[in-house]
Amino acid sequence: MFRVLGLSALGQFITRVALAGLALAIVLPICVACASNPVSPTPSVDAAGQAVSMSTTKSGPISIVAAENFYGDIATQIGGNRVTVVSILKDPNVDPHEYESSVDDAKAIGNAQIVIKNGVGYDAFIDKLLAASPRPNRIVIDVSQLTGHKDGDNPHLWYDPSTMPKVAQELTQTLSRLDPADSAYFAGRLQSFNASEKTVDDQVAAMKTRYHGVKVLPTEPVFNYMAEALGLDVVDKEGDFQRAVEAGNDPPAQAVAAFRQQITSHTIKALIYNSQAVTPMTTQMQDLARQSHVPIVAVSETEPAGVTYQQWMLNQLKTLQQALEQS
């Protein structure tokens, strides 16, 4: 009797061990899967100091391609870590008008969910890349249409202080449609953008009060929208000299003579030139301005590395203010 009871107990023990092992074998893979694919990720903090968590329903960040890096910068400011941004024109040492598209650019456009272009002929290469890789669901934001401009208008739209807030608003609405779960995140970043943009608006307003009507002379129309917002009197605005330089041509002799006279007579208080499109003619005018003790202000068509759009605008505005104070 003793031996029968012992064997029975031993069998029960073995059975319990086997069942426990089987349960462990089932539970372990499930636990491993849970660890590698958590349902509720731990919130992180983005560059703006806001708590964020990636949506578990998305396949990944929204891909954005910007023809110019200042639009790419705004996309990053609004999209944060919910987007990936590729900017095509981004070298401030290269004339944007000499750009030729590459295989990498075509690939980026082909994969993009959102494309931002300036329009009005400034970045016509984008239209060719879009046509070469059609995508039914791709969203194209044309800044010229957003701001009510048409072909023939001054294409340097980003120098108009009213442009970027419209771009930021449009991006916020577009990203919120594509990723409704993060709409509050995008709205919060739009508020941060608007607060930062206000520093530019305040600087423009202060300079307009002080320098309204002061004459300046740009070698080409890059800065004209901002100069108008400042209340400055832009001499030869989009005239023969400016248009010729912008197109890479030599200005007519009469336009050159009038340009020189504006400098030597000290009619203008500052000479403004495009640092990315220096030609023998613009260099000649800079030399003449130095000889005539007229302040010279450099502006660029491409946002420099390491700064935001707002910082870029503020830096140029403060440089112009210093030049006007010297005259």
Model-wide pTM > 0.75 = yes
Output the pLDDT for position 49: 36
How high is the pLDDT of residue 58?
A: 64
CATH superfamily, domain 212-326, is Nitrogenase molybdenum iron protein domain (3.40.50.1980)
pLDDT value for 98: 75
Q: Which residues pair with 215 in a beta bridge?
A: 233
Predicted confidence at residue 33, as pLDDT, reads 38
> How far is residue 155 from each of residues 181, 200, 219, 287, 309, measured CA to CA in Å?
36, 21, 15, 28, 17
Task: Please give the pLDDT value at position 59.
Answer: 78
Give the per-residue pLDDT at 100. 81
Residue 87 has what pLDDT?
97
Mean pLDDT, the chain, whole residue set: 85
**pLDDT at residue 143, rounded to an integer:** 98
Q: Where are the domains of the chain?
A: 51-199, 212-326
Q: Which sign does the torsion angle of CA 292, 92, 89, 174 carry?
A: negative
- The answer to whether domain 51-199 and domain 212-326 are alike in fold is yes
pLDDT, tens digit, for every residue of 121-144? 999 999 999 999 999 899 999 999
**pLDDT at res. 157:** 98
Helix (H, G, I), strand (E, B) or coil at 135: coil
For the chain, which ranges sit under pLDDT 50? 1-57
pLDDT of residue 99: 80
Query: What CATH superfamily is the domain 51-199?
Result: Nitrogenase molybdenum iron protein domain (3.40.50.1980)
pLDDT, residue 35, reads: 37
Nearest to 73 by CA among 305, 299, 274, 318: 305
Which helix (H) or strand (E) is 126 found in, with range? helix 124-132
Q: Which residues contact 230 (CB under 8 A, 6 or more apart)?
A: 204, 207, 208, 211, 212, 317, 320
Q: For the residues of 30-71, what is the DSSP string, one character each?
A: HHHHHHHS-SSPPPEE-TTS-EE---TTSSSPEEEEEEEHHH
